[in-house]
Chain A
Amino acid sequence: MKDSPVSMAEANHSAAYRLQNVERRRGDAFRLLIDDLVIEPGEVLCLVGPTGAGKSTLLSLLSGLAPIDGGQLWFGGHPLHERPLPLAKLRTIAAVTQRPLPMLGSTRRNVECGLRWRGVSDRNERIDGVLARLRLAEIASQSASRLSGGQLQLVALARALVLRPDVLLLDEPTAALDPARVALVESLLADERSARPTTIVWATHHLYQARRVADRVVLLLDGRVIETEATERFFDTPSDPRTAAFVRGEMIY
């Protein structure tokens, strides 16, 4: 039975994202083929999987900015596979890319950019707050192009957090950070979620991190979902042998 577009839109409204047979291709080959994945509003969903599994590609699709080559991808009630998100809805999503780039100007100016683009006039208090919480106040006036990799990663997080988005897409946001700052970021994101409902899709290579922060974990392999499971079950009683092997730290193919 085929759902009518209206009832489908209503059914998908309750989920943050619903993906059905979503394809992303490069040439003839699949880079990503997601049969069925629902992302619930307010959850932290961790994407794990070996390098090249498609985590970043999936995040780029969720950002609403990358073309979809097939299937259906709903964001709220909006069919992304049919038409692009209007700007107002795009602005409820903020993404931190894997290799953040500094923009010309100071750290502060970098953190300010998203608010500036939104035409928010009362920016200073919000910017100061985020800079302080990420311990970036001291380098606020430094040129962003001179920051270290770790500092830049924190600035990239600040650029997204200052926007107070409904959806936060994070691509290995703590890969360049020291353990203390990893803990800082994790607790800050937890605070963020208790302050307002935020859906977080978080790609990470650190299994312990996924275990700490995730409500559910998705294992990707070769662009396909191998297993989606609540965090505890994902790690303790995975149903797929490849998940079990991956959790043990073995190479999977």
Chain B
Amino acid sequence: MTVPARPLPPRGAARVGRPGLILGGALVGAVFLAALLSLVWTPHDPVAIDIPARFLPPSAEHWLGTDQFGRDVASQLLVGARNSVLVALLAVGIGGSLGAALGLWASAMGGWVEEAVMRLADFGFAFPALLFAIMLAAVFGPSLTNAVLAIAFINVPIFARVARGSANLIQRMDYVMAARAAGRSRTAIALAHVLPNVSAVLMVQATIEFAVAILAEAALSYLGLGVQPPTPSWGRMLSEAQTLLYLHPGLAVWPGLCIVAAVIGFNMLGDGLRDWADPRLRHAR
């Protein structure tokens, strides 16, 4: 009688049980779910002004109450999630792809190209996203697009460094040498052999940068440099709530909690994924 071979546990199974990865995944899942849900349904119209219904306490009708214009807070938070996710996706997507492409290119070319790209990346760190957003706002006026561009900008040097660092390790592998010996071009090797092998690292980085992007979007919107009224955003809800702090302090609590939950979620998920993807780290801890 043969005993059926037990399938090997999936890679990193030991870590999947980690509370961090699960909690992070759950929080991130909730944020994405809220963002998607807001596309098709919100309890109330998030921008509908209803003055008689101002400052209502939480109830079955308005789960988290209403704000100074009688707008439903819960509905605004849902749409706020959508905006946060949208800005983060676009900013990390654009900045990350551009940075990763630059990093891969630098690694593939080597020599002075690599040096030049990396020096440019160094210089990129001199510009915090806020300064860039301020410049764009001064020139074009504040807008969501400017916020996305500014956050994307700071992602370029980060991803360029990470991609180049990981790619340089792959470049020394035998299969890359073999491909080179077979006469494949640098671009072909970078796309066919290097990119698939650095993508995991890039994904982990993207998860962590997502958290940074959500924080940056909140700060920019709080300052009026991001999502413009009347579109709800967590950051702007806080700046509106600040003026009502003496009378209705509760309004300043919910948007902040949403930001913290989303950021913790992405940070935990990123850390968890990194541990899971890198077996060396699993033993090092």
A binds B: no
Residues of B within 8 A of A (CB): none
- Which A residues are within 8 Å of any B CB, using their own CB? none
